Structure 1
């Protein structure tokens, strides 16, 4: 099968919202009047971002999900995306599963595949996604203000829990591992929540490299600091029932690492003024998820993780993931 046959069979589809899609030198997008384009790119590399054992359908889902998560953090509505795909060989069963997972999520969010590239090489997936947001209404990292509440959506830490099980550093009951693996391999982009938080949240970021590490990006961009309550850790991880019953194996340090530094969660961390607490919870309910208040923005720069007595904890082991650190 040649390159263009591969594209036509697995990735070429009629467009509905774009002006021009796959098959020309450029795609053409036409944002609605008064809207701004939101654009983000993410690359997934085998052995770095995903394990070789991942099912192709799950990988197709995740490849687009991590990009939709960036749009969610901006409060943008998905429009379209491009796909650059390097393949070590043409495997039709793999391509069928990958494209099925990719396009099912795309259809769920009305996000059209409008172009890209294919080449031979080590497995590498790069997606650029396009969304639109009303001018002046995008959620930014730079809007947090002293006194704002800090929230995180859904649950965090389960993807890292699955990774530790894959690494063999801990053993999980089959049902706990299956649920954690689902969170690792098929994350849910919080697009609906991002849209609902426009005009409510003061800042936002998606949690891809660890909750505290990503929150630090918001604090630096906003010129503020924060206090985060360590006591929220058990309620933030979906495997909380197992965590509470496995103290000998799943110690507090491992729990903190999974929740605060785990990454690969693709939830939203965001800030909002205290007066918006009801609006935040209404937005979360409407989006079919939850929003947990985990701390407060402070004027003093830096991030402090504190215990129940207000004592600062050591953050050196809880920094976010950095590819080149």
Structure 2
């Protein structure tokens, strides 16, 4: 959890009068809806759109609160990117391709319009990169911290959405990309982790602020993965969630967990930092299970998408949700926590 900002963010006016609600919508958000006809130019109370034959909607909602999910003085474009990408990661974990999203903003009355400009610009950059557009939403004022919510819509072939509960004993556990960058970046942001190398610091902080949702990989896991989800609460905790839904236990091999060069340098053999990396969360990588026979197809998928896919463990019979983490010597790695829990 990030510390709350002690004071309201600085206020400001554009000229002699600030933009009102509809002025803000017209200036900052209407352009983001231009690429989605169903948004109707944000001139109506709701969006209207259909679903192509043979497809069904996948819907996900994520909220972010200043002081909990981001630092209040983070760049607004970075805040927008994390908000958007956490939702895109949920779509990818279901095998869905992005379609559209709605946005709710609860903002302090005195928030400078330059913040909104940067926030909208960040959303626009990600819309272009990931092929999604704004369909509508709502904007309200608040006396509390900035609170943001996105509901994202994706399309998946009918009946083919990837479930969490499909893993079976004997399936292997895989993860995309790298794990631990965001957790280590957060420690740097708090000032609790001193990393002298500026390039390493920059990489870890970027991954904390701007995760990389695996939107190209997710849809292609349909037919290969037996169970899937994304890593938001921490690798160990989320593997536990997948196992619980699948009625299995798991062995996780810590030495097989993929680490970036920056994370490896920051950990530097420290078991406490390694434990932080695999439990810290906010990775937004895809965690999935698949039978051993899928390995070759997954190697091809990895090469096609340019995204690393690592085998890190296996499901087994046992207490549903139990995850045993083994170190490089095959000994049980004691963990004081499994991951993040809001409550």
- TM-score of the aligned structures, taking structure 2 as reference length: 0.89
Please give the alpha-carbon distance, in whole angstroms, between the structure 1 residues aligned to 2:253 and 2:306.
Answer: 25
Question: Could you tell me which residue of structure 2 aligns to residue 109 of structure 1?
Answer: 130
Question: Could you tell me which residue of structure 1 aligns to residue 339 of structure 2?
Answer: 320
Unaligned runs of 5+ in 1: none
Please give the alpha-carbon distance, in whole angstroms, between the structure 2 residues aligned to 1:58 and 1:220.
Answer: 33
User: 2:180, 2:263 within 8 Å by CA — same for their partners in 1?
Assistant: no
Query: Equivalent of 1:303, from 304, 320, 323?
Result: 323
- SS state at 1:143 partner: coil
Question: Could you tell me which residue of structure 1 aligns to residue 168 of structure 2?
Answer: 145
Aligned Cα root-mean-square deviation (Å): 1.5
CA apart distance, 1:238: 3.9
Please give the alpha-carbon distance, in whole angstroms, between the structure 2 residues aligned to 1:193 and 1:320.
Answer: 24
Please give the alpha-carbon distance, in whole angstroms, between the structure 1 residues aligned to 2:212 and 2:331.
Answer: 34
Cα deviation digits, residues 129-172 of structure 1 (max 9, x gap): 01110012111101101111101110110111111112222201
Gap change, CA 1:12 and 1:40, over 3 Å in 2: same
Please give the alpha-carbon distance, in whole angstroms, between the structure 2 residues aligned to 1:32 and 1:294.
Answer: 37
CA apart distance, 1:73: 0.3
Gap change, CA 1:120 and 1:263, over 3 Å in 2: same
Bigger CA drift: 193-202 or 7-16? 7-16
Please give the alpha-carbon distance, in whole angstroms, between the structure 2 residues aligned to 1:290 and 1:109.
Answer: 19
- SS state at 1:177 partner: helix
**Which aligned pairs between 1:57-76 and structure 2 lie closer than 5 A?**
57-76=77-96
Please give the alpha-carbon distance, in whole angstroms, between the structure 1 residues aligned to 2:174 and 2:71.
Answer: 30
- TM-score of the aligned structures, taking structure 1 as reference length: 0.93
User: 1:73, 1:206 within 8 Å by CA — same for their partners in 2?
Assistant: yes
Matched, 1:11 2:36: no
Shift >4 Å, 4+ stretches: 14-18
Cα deviation digits, residues 193-248 of structure 1 (max 9, x gap): 10111111111111111001011111011101110112224x4244245246x45x
- SS state at 1:114 partner: strand
